[in-house]
């Protein structure tokens, strides 16, 4: 399709039903940019309004929440956009993601993504809006352009800096790599056609059109849309005029694709319109602008839902609405207005902002709507995190959950049926010289605190938090976030229970992550601690098999119903489509060990919860190729899980190691054991 040779939306999509209910739901993942959890009515603004305080109104999102599911303790992967998006797209937390800290515009690694996962199940895939994980070069050179990471269609800014400007044509500039800020359709720069096109309006209109196109052209094929807004991020730019009358296919925002008039709001004076609910308020300009930006997102969500209803696909569409991190305190490049998050308490009941590992920086809104499967009005208090969406979407699409993801499926939370294991809630992030803003709503202990290297983990309902980390054995502060939203009561030294929990947290953060040389940490050189010796063990690993092959190594939970057989080798039973070995490996001495896997198929190994070797979905994990990794281990017993998808009947798997006093050799069977 040529960049601007699109038919009008209404002509593409009649109002009649387009398809019967699908067994695989359509999936729309809506990611806002710097929207604080407190910016939504259901989370904080409605309460402010009841108290007579300045408040933002979000009627469509309030209704969305009332007819869907609220995940009241959902966490981003990182308190800033690029690493959060990278973790979201690849289904791994920041202890495994290749893009960490402030590595904006770094190429997303060539591995499994939400899009490539769903495309394997027959989904049509698109990203509309901000990308920001593309790598260097022009659109045709970007190694991690969306079209090279599982998406069939891309419409939006590739570079993250373009997302700071809400009128891409009228606000020209340079991105971090010296390229002109630009919006692309696939690999074609279409910025010159976007006269007066306000970003929220543009991406909403294009999303509506793309959905209608899919309904008209492929009514039986499910779709996955990653709709990544740039609001209310950076410059506090506002629309040219009011939201168009009506909603859905015949009203609201419309996309024509015509240069100079690409959407029906591309007229009037740019950056000029304040919502009438706020225009006459005695508020500062930044507050009126921020409220208008949030209200525009709210209108957009109402318009999007109306479009799905017009197409008769709303019941079979799973929509997730969330934000990449906490509320911001910025003006953007060349902006005239600086957002003050304290005016509306955009951080809600929490302390911290964007770039904080305190709750206000990482605790994000998460609303889910899926009428066909998720009962209305549910509120889920169990913690969850961005990497859980890969497992959730896999299960919803009828796919095995990949072993590579750090997440667990949230379907039981959404449907109210069944149980799920605890999510791994883990964050690491670093910013040199940063400080938590000294906002009066925050606890005194959190105002102006040095950030530096930060890390958090949740265990048994308690949050371990470390700020300005200088050494590997630094103690955690321990909080109970469900009761202490401001993280003001540090429990770490209050009893022997919490001193033991502190030791457990220090061990667990070393067992669930891997060092990344591009984002060094003070704890990178610490050895992964061994487990307490199991009381009763037997030789060998436990082997489980599934007859059905898988497009990737499945997560251990996929094998839960399979019977276990002790195994002293890595032989694959005849007829096995997928195999898993699980148990313990005994390390003879402290030191750095290098492990090698040579697999005639797909293989994936974890040591404790850390990824040991990915010879599965990684780009360089071809069958028969040896994949190696080095890791520092303490002597003793370590948990190990190894999965294998044979490429053929006679496919083999070999695991070797070398380390202190050990030449490279096959790991002997005597090193393996399992719990009786």
Pairing of strands 124-129, 183-185: unpaired
Give CA–CA dist 185/619, Å, rounded.
26
Answer whether residue 541 shows pLDDT above 80: yes
Domains and CATH numbers, the chain: 9-415 (3.40.720.10), 426-511 (no CATH), 537-675 (3.90.182.10)
pLDDT for the residue 500: 98
Helix, strand, coil % in the chain, rounded to nearest 5: 20, 25, 55
Give the chain's mean pLDDT.
Answer: 94
Give CA–CA dist 657/671, Å, rounded.
11
Give CA–CA dist 495/670, Å, rounded.
41
Q: What is the 3-state secondary structure (H, E, C) of 441-495?
A: CCCHHHCCCEEEEEEEEEECCEEEEECCCCCCCCCCEEECCCCCCCCCCCCCCCC
DSSP one-letter string for 240-295: SSPPPSS-GGGSS--EEEETTEEETT--S-TT----HHHHTSS--HHHHHHHHHHH
| Burial class, 245, CB count within 10 angstroms (exposed 0-12 / middle 13-18 / buried 19+) | exposed
pLDDT for the residue 482: 93
pLDDT for the residue 674: 97
DSSP 3-state of 614? strand
What's 22's DSSP letter? P
Give CA–CA dist 172/186, Å, rounded.
20
pLDDT for the residue 139: 87
Answer whether residue 20 shows pLDDT above 90: no
Answer whether residue 16 shows pLDDT above 50: no
CB count, 10 Å around CB of 156?
Answer: 28
Phi/psi of residue 326, each to 5°? -75, 180
pLDDT above 90 coverage of the chain, percent? 90
Answer whether residue 617 shows pLDDT above 90: no
Answer whether residue 376 shows pLDDT above 90: yes
What's the pLDDT tens digit per position in 198-239?
999 999 999 999 999 999 999 999 999 999 999 999 899 999
Q: Could you tell me the pLDDT band of residue 22, with boundaries at 50, 70 and 90?
A: low
CB 168 within 8 A of CB 197: yes
Paired strand residues for 426? 457
Give CA–CA dist 626/334, Å, rounded.
50
For tokens 């590595």, what's the residue? 103
What's the pLDDT tens digit per position in 172-191?
877 777 778 899 999 999 99
Phi/psi of residue 660, each to 5°? -55, 115
Residue 183 CB contacts under 8 Å (≥ 6 apart), including other chains: 155, 156, 157, 162, 168, 189, 190, 191, 194, 202
In this prediction, residues 419-445 reach a mean pLDDT of 97
Give CA–CA dist 65/61, Å, rounded.
6
Answer whether residue 438 shows pLDDT above 90: yes
In this prediction, residues 156-166 reach a mean pLDDT of 93
Residue 370 CB contacts under 8 Å (≥ 6 apart), including other chains: 25, 68, 69, 317, 318, 319, 414
Q: Could you tell me the pLDDT band of residue 3, with boundaries at 50, 70 and 90?
A: very low
Answer whether residue 17 shows pLDDT above 50: no
What's 180's DSSP letter? B
Out of 98-102, 134-138, 250-254, least confident range: 134-138
Answer whether residue 412 shows pLDDT above 80: yes
Residue 51: both structure tokens together: 């108290």
Q: Could you tell me the pLDDT band of residue 142, with boundaries at 50, 70 and 90?
A: very high
Give CA–CA dist 416/430, Å, rounded.
37
Q: Could you tell me the pLDDT band of residue 650, with boundaries at 50, 70 and 90?
A: confident
pLDDT for the residue 290: 98
Inter-CA distances, 490 with 250, 266, 445, 459, Å: 55, 52, 10, 15
**Residue 161 Rama label (left phi>0; alpha psi -120 to 50; beta):** alpha
pLDDT for the residue 175: 77
Answer whether residue 496 shows pLDDT above 50: yes
In this prediction, residues 51-68 reach a mean pLDDT of 98
DSSP 3-state of 411? helix
Out of 115-124, 164-173, 498-507, 601-610, least confident range: 164-173
CB count, 10 Å around CB of 656?
Answer: 16
Which value, to the nearest 10 degrees, does the dihedral of the CA atoms of residues 55, 60, 61, 66 take?
110
Answer whether residue 546 shows pLDDT above 80: yes
For tokens 């919502």, what's the residue? 275
What's the pLDDT tens digit per position in 301-326?
999 999 999 999 999 999 999 999 99
Answer whether residue 462 shows pLDDT above 90: yes
């Amino acid at each position: 399709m040529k960049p601007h040779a699109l038919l009008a939306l209404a002509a593409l999509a009649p109002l009649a039903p387009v398809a019967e209910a699908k067994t695989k739901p359509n999936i729309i993942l809506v990611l806002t940019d710097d929207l604080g959890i407190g910016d939504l009515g259901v989370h904080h603004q409605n309460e402010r309004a009841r108290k007579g305080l300045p408040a933002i109104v979000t009627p469509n999102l309030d209704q969305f929440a009332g007819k869907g599911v609220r995940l009241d303790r959902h966490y981003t992967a990182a308190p800033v956009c690029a690493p959060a998006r990278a973790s979201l797209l690849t289904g791994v937390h920041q202890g495994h993601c290749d893009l960490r800290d402030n590595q904006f515009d770094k190429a997303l690694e060539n591995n499994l993504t939400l899009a490539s996962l769903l495309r394997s199940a027959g989904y049509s895939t698109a990203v509309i809006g901000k990308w920001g994980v593309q790598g260097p070069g022009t659109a045709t050179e970007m190694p991690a352009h969306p079209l090279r990471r599982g998406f069939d269609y891309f419409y939006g800014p590739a570079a993250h800096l373009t997302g700071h400007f809400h009128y891409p044509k009228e606000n020209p500039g340079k991105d971090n790599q010296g390229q002109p800020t630009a919006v692309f359709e696939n690999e074609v720069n279409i910025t010159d056609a976007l006269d007066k096109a306000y970003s929220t309006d543009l991406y909403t209109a294009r999303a509506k059109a793309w959905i209608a196109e899919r309904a008209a052209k492929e009514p039986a094929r499910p779709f996955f849309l990653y709709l990544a807004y740039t609001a209310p991020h950076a410059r506090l730019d506002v629309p040219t005029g009011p939201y168009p009358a009506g909603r859905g296919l015949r009203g609201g925002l419309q996309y024509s694709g015509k240069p100079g008039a690409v959407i029906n709001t591309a007229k009037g004076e740019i950056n000029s319109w304040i919502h009438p609910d706020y225009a006459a308020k005695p508020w500062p300009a930044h507050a009126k602008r921020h409220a208008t930006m949030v209200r525009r997102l709210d209108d957009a969500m109402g318009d999007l839902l109306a479009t799905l209803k017009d197409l008769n696909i709303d019941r079979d569409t799973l929509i997730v609405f969330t934000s990449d991190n906490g509320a911001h305190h910025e003006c953007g490049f060349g902006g005239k207005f600086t957002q003050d998050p304290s005016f509306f308490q955009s951080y809600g009941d929490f302390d911290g902002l964007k770039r904080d590992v305190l709750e206000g920086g990482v605790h994000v809104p998460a609303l889910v709507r899926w009428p066909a499967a998720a009962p209305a009005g549910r509120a889920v208090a169990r913690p969850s995190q961005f990497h859980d969406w890969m497992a959730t979407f896999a299960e919803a699409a009828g796919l095995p959950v990949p072993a590579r993801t750090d997440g667990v499926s949230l379907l039981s939370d959404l449907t109210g049926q069944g149980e799920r294991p605890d999510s791994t809630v883990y964050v690491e992030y670093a910013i040199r010289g940063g400080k938590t803003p000294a906002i009066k709503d925050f606890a005194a202990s959190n105002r102006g605190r040095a950030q530096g290297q930060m890390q958090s983990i949740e265990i048994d309902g308690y949050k371990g938090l470390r700020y300005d980390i200088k050494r590997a054995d630094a103690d955690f502060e321990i909080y109970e976030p469900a009761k202490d939203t401001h993280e003001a009561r540090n429990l770490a030294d209050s009893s022997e229970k919490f001193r033991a929990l502190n030791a457990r947290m220090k061990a667990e953060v070393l067992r669930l992550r891997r060092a990344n040389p591009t984002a060094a940490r003070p704890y990178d050189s610490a050895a992964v601690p061994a487990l307490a010796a199991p009381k009763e063990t037997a030789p060998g690993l436990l082997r489980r098999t599934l007859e059905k092959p898988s497009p990737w190594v499945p997560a251990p939970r996929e094998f839960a119903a399979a019977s276990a057989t002790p195994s002293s080798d890595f032989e694959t039973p005849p007829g096995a489509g997928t195999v898993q070995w699980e148990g313990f490996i005994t390390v003879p001495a402290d030191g750095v060990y290098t492990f090698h896997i040579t697999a005639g198929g797909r293989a994936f190994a974890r040591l404790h919860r850390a990824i040991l070797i990915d010879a599965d979905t990684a780009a360089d994990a071809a069958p028969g190729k040896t994949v190696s990794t080095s890791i520092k281990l303490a002597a003793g017993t370590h948990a190990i899980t190894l999965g294998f998808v044979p490429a053929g009947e006679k496919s083999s798997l070999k695991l070797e190691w070398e380390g202190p006093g050990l030449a490279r050799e096959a790991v002997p069977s005597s090193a393996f054991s399992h719990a009786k």
